[in-house]
Amino acid sequence: MPVSLRAGASLFIRLLKVLGPPGQAFEFLTFSSTSSLRAAAREYVGIQKAREALENSKARFVDDPSGALAEARRAVGQALETRGYPPPERANEAPQTRQEILQEYRSTDMGDTGRLEDMRDAYIRLSDLLDRLTRT
């Protein structure tokens, strides 16, 4: 359902106040309804919160690698959920491209028994995965 120019412009301006300039937050958005714009804003904010949590967990990695990795996995998991991905245990229900992302997410689960180098690698892959979510 197309929105009026006035309503769309008003929502777009409010969104810019939250997200920043278009070049910084997103390249170009075309929406046919305000609900689409709100959904995109919700996804963007969810990914930004996950990025913040991931960055905040970096400092903990030195003293508590498994705890920091668990925190990073939660953050990326929430970003996946925000983007509409199914839970990892239902990955086979998702399209192939989403299955690959969910498989990558699942591969970062080290539990409490992982070696430090494996945990560091998993942490880097989570960061890369979040970057991929930002671009898709």
- Please tell me whether residue 45 adopts helix, strand or coil conformation: helix
The amino acid at residue 79 is A
Read off the tokens for 134. 């930002």
Per-residue CA distances from 60 to 37, 64, 66, 114 (Å): 35, 6, 9, 16
How far apart CA 5 and CA 127 sit, in angstroms, is 38
115-131 pLDDT per residue, tens: 889 999 999 999 999 98
Share of the chain above pLDDT 90, in %: 26
CB 120 within 8 A of CB 69: no
Domain map of the chain by residue range?
A: 5-135
pLDDT band of 132, cuts 50, 70, 90: confident
Q: Tell whether pTM > 0.75.
A: no
